[in-house]
Amino acid sequence: MPKSRKTLLFNWKPVAIYFAIVSAGAAGVIIWERAYEAKEVPLAVPASFTPDVVARRLVESYVGAGTVQSSHLDPQSGILTVVVRDVVSDKAKTPAERRALLSGEGTQAVERLLGSVTFKDVVLELVKDGKVLATVRAEPGKKPQTEFAPDLR
Examine the domain organization and report whether 63 and 115 are in the same domain: yes
Residue 103: CATH number of its domain = 3.30.300.190
Burial code (b: 16+ CB inside 10 Å, e: under 16) for 67-100 equals bbeebebeeeeebbbbbbebebbeeeeeeeebbe
Contact 101, 89 (CB under 8 A): yes
Q: What is the pTM of this model?
A: 0.65
Examine the domain organization and report whether 26 and 85 are in the same domain: no
Residue 5 resides in a domain: no
pLDDT (tens digit per residue) in 27-76 = 999 999 988 887 766 555 566 677 778 888 888 888 888 899 998 888 88
Examine the domain organization and report whether 36 and 100 are in the same domain: no
Examine the domain organization and report whether 18 and 91 are in the same domain: no
> Which domain range does residue 99 map to?
51-152
Domain count, the chain: 2
Band of residue 4 on the pLDDT scale cut at 50, 70, 90: low
Contact 80, 122 (CB under 8 A): yes
pLDDT (tens digit per residue) in 118-148 = 788 999 999 988 899 999 999 988 899 999 9
Examine the domain organization and report whether 63 and 121 are in the same domain: yes
Examine the domain organization and report whether 67 and 30 are in the same domain: no
Residue 1 resides in a domain: no
Contact 83, 71 (CB under 8 A): yes
Examine the domain organization and report whether 14 and 89 are in the same domain: no
pLDDT (tens digit per residue) in 71-111 = 888 888 888 899 999 888 888 888 899 899 999 999 998 98
